[in-house]
Structure 1
């Protein structure tokens, strides 16, 4: 059972649906950092998941009474809290439960990284995760490994994909007469401007009203353009960017400056993703479904930061494998 407490709920007065002698996860100060994929992971371990938003978390007495009732039913409870809001626990909350063997506490940053394999990023621009503030970027070893992978895969993919280049050029020409390639300014490593090459998948007048996010049912995308996006064929020309050293095979998605400026105003740590080269594919792309806007940018950032912080060859191989799987099964954008 997953319960999200809203202000109008009388949730503290009823435990209907909460099973006895079960594993219970309570997330205090919940600010919607969990997505459907995360819930699937958590439901494999916890029979009951209770999400209590920040405003309701401040009700110390109600929270304490509610947890006592859960304990009385023999439940083993894990409480996730945000250290920034620790004052909402109060001395009473800590004192009452500190030595109870049925209760364990875990800070939200450690919870996200250990359980959900992503770095916690608050939805409050004024709240900063100290683990990210002190983030160590790629050392010389991963840079050499990634550069080698980029060159080997870049050349191999370029050679074997030549038939797709020809087919794509022909289909674009007949379905949407105009340029075959689309060149767009994106932000690369250390906030440098790069020109990214792609097969054009939208009408030539797609942005006559200014820059805007695309979506799954975007009517600006012509039929073969949808196929290219789903299979990532439209990304093939970015192999030139890889060989030029501007992009990596795996890394944060290169974003447009106009969107980055908005994201940096509202999402803590957003600029940290520019400490490494952006990539054609990445951890965020394979872990999070397609989406656009602040909410989705925040979720994707959590995965990008986890990738930077926890990079290893196994993680790189996993992303490459899942990217290939996405292309073959057409589960891309």
Structure 2
């Protein structure tokens, strides 16, 4: 695979995934370079005629000679599966997320971001009702274990509630098993080896056990089993100032687990939030029963000790 430009910078996790799909990944930088120099590098990479994908990933102006060369590649490359695609197409097809441009004048990324139709919503609700039964059983099983661990490690309330943002930006109270010591220092982001989290609380976070009480939110119609993560309303206010398109994820109800949660590590800054939003928008745009099953499977892998990422 050959990538022309560096408009979108791949994360280390994405490069790791792409290296499993492509034998070679070469990036040709365009910005602040002489056209002949760029053209010469392109020719060197394409000379073997054995690569099958060219990704256009540049926001720098491309010269006429480079354009002519690129348009002629379809005839020069002997590989019958060779194709050229934009970074927007590539990100959706191979990384399963929606590309969000830095230039907010381009609104193409909002295409097909819409609420579920009646048929899709009926399927979602069926999955929700089935999940409530299993989550209620899990809640009855884990509740005494959580209570015992809290008595030993962090006495206090069993549950933690917090205002979260749901569908159409409506605020609701989200239920969780408490994982932090009560009256801990206020910090919206958790850190590596966060001292506010007690030992069993850390275990619950890693296995998602702390999310089990949210079956109550599903029962009340505030959440689905699967959807974008329900975020704290204070954080959302900050996100929407820095990411003006962030509210698009609120066209659907949030979920206990979701496509972003099983594909990207826990967010610790605004860039992580943007990355997870790309996965959320992909989930909304490409919703299907198969995608729903994939999220459930990857979530199960997390619960049984696998990373799921």
Among 56, 61, 66, which residue is 1:93 paired with?
Answer: 66
**Cα distance, 1:188 vs. partner?**
0.6
Among 79, 87, 94, which residue is 1:108 paired with?
Answer: 87
Structure 2 segments unaligned to the other structure (5+ residues): none
1:312 aligns with 2:285: no
Among 140, 147, 169, which residue is 1:191 paired with?
Answer: 169
1:205 aligns with 2:186: no
- Are residues 312 and 77 of structure 1, via their aligned partners in 2, closer, same or farther at CA, if it must alter by over 3 Å? closer
Structure 1 segments unaligned to the other structure (5+ residues): 1-23
- Are residues 33 and 54 of structure 1, via their aligned partners in 2, closer, same or farther at CA, if it must alter by over 3 Å? farther
Q: Any idea what the Cα deviations from partners look like across 1:241-286, whole Å, max 9, x if unmatched?
A: 1100001100000112222233223335321111101000001111
Cα distance in 1 for residues equivalent to 2:176 and 2:258: 17
Per the alignment, residue 152 of structure 1 pairs with 130
CA RMSD of aligned residues (A): 2.4
Per the alignment, residue 29 of structure 1 pairs with 6
Cα distance in 2 for residues equivalent to 1:52 and 1:215: 36
Deviates most, 129-138 or 299-308: 129-138
**Cα distance, 1:104 vs. partner?**
4.1
Among 47, 59, 70, which residue is 2:45 paired with?
Answer: 70
Cα distance in 2 for residues equivalent to 1:125 and 1:211: 31
Tell me, what secondary structure is at the counterpart of 1:197? strand
Among 222, 231, 250, which residue is 1:274 paired with?
Answer: 250
User: TM-score, normalising length from structure 2?
Assistant: 0.89
Tell me, what secondary structure is at the counterpart of 1:329? coil
Tell me, what secondary structure is at the counterpart of 2:39? helix
**Cα distance, 1:129 vs. partner?**
4.5
Cα distance in 1 for residues equivalent to 2:308 and 2:197: 15
Cα distance in 1 for residues equivalent to 2:180 and 2:280: 27
1:80 aligns with 2:55: yes
Cα distance in 2 for residues equivalent to 1:281 and 1:54: 40
**Cα distance, 1:332 vs. partner?**
7.9
User: TM-score, normalising length from structure 1?
Assistant: 0.83
**Cα distance, 1:148 vs. partner?**
1.2
